[in-house]
Chain A
Amino acid sequence: MRRRGTVESASWADILAQAIFHTLVASLFVEALVRSWGVREPRQRMALRLTALGYPLVLFPALVALFPSRGEEGFREDLALFDARSWETVRLLGVGLFWWWLAAFAAAGAGLFLMDLWPVLRGRGRRAPAGELPDPASAAVLAAELPRAAAALGVREPPLVFLGRDLPVLFCTGVRRPALVVSGGTLSRLDRDELAAALAHELAHVAGRDPLKSWVLMGLRAVMFWNPAFQVVSRALARDAEWLADERGAAACGDRLALASGLLKLHRATAGASGVPRSLPFAAALAEPLARVRSHDIEVRCRRLLDGAPARLPYAGVRVALAGGALAALLFFVI
């Protein structure tokens, strides 16, 4: 009697567990489709990944609100393909595995979120780097390349913040008024073609309003901090955004090889320069794997640039609709 009562009214733990498991299934399902369909074009990959990312934000709350009968015992027994509560029967140290899974997944989600939040929090209090006047040679190079790249991408030339330091720096920043930050170290390391390609890549981020999107994504990640699959898909989406900027930048400058070469040079110059801060627990142990992941990301981006522009698959909209529909139908029976 007690069990029936607790099961029929889904508790917060049931809903949390369902949201975590649904997002996990959605992200794996979408990843399997991306690989099986051979989706290489970044926009198409992002559209499919957004299906998995949007699932816990839109479809799952709708499922819980519109179909409360899914939580009833009859549904669990007769129709459900999976009932997370069934893991309660397997016990470890006197506690059902349902609770162990829930705690482990929530902790993993929070850990992944904090790993990306930590650098943002560390940077908060620090003043934005003050721009300096570039030396005449640097000013001439930037004055020649920046307007050309901006015109090729169809964006207004953003304000430039020049840093005189030797460390290579190149990124766009700012939500409402994006600016481009570039250092003397970047200009000295890249040749003219590589610089044009790298600037085009950054301007592609500006054109796509990526700084704004990344903050929106960070906000959603904060809401879903307990959901590990959401954190992982968000990271994958950010990687796709980089690939998209690569494609748009390469198309704008017309030299994929120069962009790959520039990426490698900047990566080599910065490898090890911005390690994980030692104040973090296990920082030393984490530093090497993180550096390897970063190197792998750069390698993949270079390979993609050398392979040529990826082809768009036909019926992109239909694929996204099919993926979303199939997911919704499948996960209706997962509680």
Chain B
Amino acid sequence: MGAVRASGAGVEIARMLVTLAYVLAGTAAAIVGLGALPRLLAGDTGPHRAASIQEAERRLGARILLPGYYPERLAWPPAAIHVAGGRHGSVRLAFAARDGGTGLELVAATDAGVDIAPALLSDRTVLGARPTVVGGHPATLASVLVEGVAWQELSWSVNGRAVVLRSQGDLDELVRIARSLHGVSGR
């Protein structure tokens, strides 16, 4: 009698837990589906955070431009990596200074002739701009305000790939980093 009662209780508990599990799984699946819907409707515009350069390259299906010259004052690896625009989209690398001071941002497309994904370019106010040259390629050097903070911004193309490099540091350092980006001729 006791064994039958215990077996009945076991069946009831099992039924209760299994029901809870499938209701929970169904709810979680519905939530995940609802979360994925905007990307399906609007296209995968991002930006999405990537944990490492390797992960960002895997998501983009392309190699990321990296500077050959990397000042000692900047910490490695990048403090934040974001990708946007799906396969062969764009990447933004944010580098922090080791002493917590001014940083550097590198935003680049991974395909030639394609604009940088707008999701990666912060709203900015251009205070002034002048044409310049980076490694023999025409470029634009601008002073911009991003959230009230002044940056020096250099934009040009590396083998047809649009690149934007921003720094709050020294202008010479910015140009030197720009010239050292892989693929730039006349380093």
Distance in Å from the Cβ of A84 to the closest Cβ of chain B?
Answer: 9
Contact A326 B20 (CB under 8 A): yes
A7-43: which residues lie under 8 A (CB-CB) from chain B? 25, 28-29, 32-33, 36-37
CA–CA, A34 to B32, complex, Å?
23
Contact B147 A2 (CB under 8 A): yes
Chain B contacts for A330, CB-based, 8 A: 24, 27-28, 31
CB of B169 within 8 A of chain A? no
Size category, B interface: 20 to 34
B30-49: which residues lie under 8 A (CB-CB) from chain A? 31-32, 34-35, 38-39, 41-42, 45, 47-49
Which of A73-81, A216-224, A250-258 forms contacts with chain B?
A73-81
Number of interface residues of A (CB under 8 A): 36
CB of A315 within 8 A of chain B? yes
Contact A82 B19 (CB under 8 A): no
CA–CA, A328 to B10, complex, Å?
26
Nearest B residue (CB) for A91: B42
Chain B contacts for A73, CB-based, 8 A: 49
The interface bits of chain A over 59-77 (1 if a CB of B lies within 8 angstroms of the residue's CB, else 0) are: 0000000000000011001
Nearest B residue (CB) for A26: B27
CB of A1 within 8 A of chain B? yes
Nearest B residue (CB) for A76: B49
Nearest B residue (CB) for A83: B35
A87-121: which residues lie under 8 A (CB-CB) from chain B? 87-91, 97
CA–CA, A81 to B24, complex, Å?
13
CA–CA, A330 to B24, complex, Å?
8
B23 contacts which of A29, A74, A80 (Cβ < 8 Å)? Answer: A29
A305-325: which residues lie under 8 A (CB-CB) from chain B? 314-315, 318-319, 322-323
Nearest A residue (CB) for B47: A3
A82 contacts which of B24, B35, B45, B119 (Cβ < 8 Å)? Answer: B35
Contact B147 A5 (CB under 8 A): yes
CA–CA, A28 to B22, complex, Å?
14
Nearest A residue (CB) for B146: A1
A148-188: which residues lie under 8 A (CB-CB) from chain B? none
Contact B34 A32 (CB under 8 A): no
Chain B contacts for A2, CB-based, 8 A: 122-123, 146-147
CB of B9 within 8 A of chain A? yes
Known contacts A2-B122, A29-B27, A81-B31; is A90 also within 8 Å of B42 by CB? yes
Pull 24 A–B residue pairs with CB atoms less than 8 Å apart, ordered by A: A1-B146, A1-B147, A3-B122, A4-B80, A28-B27, A29-B27, A32-B26, A32-B27, A33-B19, A73-B49, A78-B49, A81-B35, A82-B31, A82-B35, A86-B38, A86-B39, A87-B38, A89-B38, A89-B45, A91-B42, A322-B17, A326-B24, A330-B27, A334-B31
Using CB atoms and an 8 Å cutoff, list the residues of chain A in contact with chain B.
Answer: 1-5, 25, 28-29, 32-33, 36-37, 73-74, 77-78, 80-83, 86-91, 97, 314-315, 318-319, 322-323, 326, 330, 334
Q: Which 10 A-B pairs have the closest CB atoms?
A: A77-B49, A82-B35, A1-B122, A89-B42, A86-B38, A90-B42, A36-B19, A82-B31, A32-B23, A90-B41
